Amino acid sequence: MFETILDLHFDKSEGSVYWLDVLRKEGVQRSDLHLGNLDILGVMDMDKLRTRPITDFIPRALHDRLGEMILAETGGTTGSPCRRVYLPEEFQAAFVAPWCSAGQRFNFPQRGCWLFVGPSGPHIIGQAARAFARATDSLEPFTIDCDVRWIKQQQPESMGYRLYMDHVISQAMNVLTRQNITVLFTTPPLLLELGANMSAEQRERIHGIHTGGMNQSVDITRKLTRLFPQAVILPGFGNSLFGVCFERTQQPDQPSSFFPSDPALDLRLIPLPESETEPPRLTEAVAEGDRGRLMFHRFDRSFLLINMLERDTAIRVTAQNSDGFTDIQALSFTRNNTTGVY
């Protein structure tokens, strides 16, 4: 599978303009590349994902399928948004299949009535919310749109922040008081705000909660469990570029441990840098129990991402002969980034 994806993107006539440019820049031939030495291509240039035409990353052999592709943008926490596309089957594998597997594992309620409070527009989480609900034989969610790029510009507890939060919560409460909502999908901070505004009866009615968009601490999980005593609470970890990962087991009073399940995603932990300028050690992996920086490759026919560095760090865990990660935190030199409510 992986070699076929590389063949497609690096094809001299039908490949991706961006990746062919990288080969020329690095003085590398396609025949030099294999899964064990992708570090020779260097770190994925995020600025190119922000600025170059998106069709430069899509193999020319697939330009006749542009009408099928699903466009995704990041939230812009670390700068201007990065953009990519998924073919429908890639979107299914990256988001929907992991969700369905986790939902079955933890008995997430079927045929519920969903409320999604989060970003739509260019953010793929809105499309994922609809797909998740339909995968449980539910009506597509009632939705409250959040402009996450706007809220990140507001200082916490400033007038602008509070006014926007009040605006979002009042819209959500309008739905909750008029519809028989049984499933909530939103971020941990928004869920806590919602819980504080809902009646005990409304909270008791919630049987399923999916949280995403940012890390959910053990303390927040405890609070949510008290607020929503009838709910299966299913955290997820992911983003617009690589998809989503879920827990295999849930341990009370322990941070969530997430395990990738999509074969197209190679997510690993490399040694932590001491500064923003230290070159990443792309070929090294941290030992189980050690903290490292998240890095991934994602091998899709529509879009290839190699040596993509994340701003997050985590501790490596293993289970059933596969690697996962827990206790997700921001890199020390990026902690000043405003994360807002997503």
| CATH 3.40.50.980 describes domain 90-257 | yes
Domain ranges of the chain: 90-257
pLDDT value of position 338 = 46
Greater pLDDT, 101 or 151: 101
- Record the pTM: 0.93
Is the model's pLDDT at 333 over the cut of 70?
no
Model pLDDT for residues 26-52, shown as the tens digit of each residue: 999 999 998 889 999 999 999 999 999
Query: With the CA atoms of 154, 159, 160 and 164 taken in that order, what torsion angle do they form, in degrees rounded to the nearest 10?
Result: 110
Q: pLDDT (tens digit, 9 = 90+) per residue, 214-223?
A: 788 899 999 9
Q: Note every long-range contact of 261-264, with CB atoms under 8 Å and residues 24 or more positions apart, other chains counting.
A: 261/97, 261/98, 261/101, 262/93, 262/94, 262/97, 262/98, 263/1, 263/93, 264/1, 264/90, 264/93, 264/94, 264/298, 264/299, 264/300
For position 156, what pLDDT does the model report? 77
- Interval 107-143: pLDDT, tens: 999 999 999 999 887 788 999 999 999 999 999 999 9
Mean pLDDT of the chain: 92
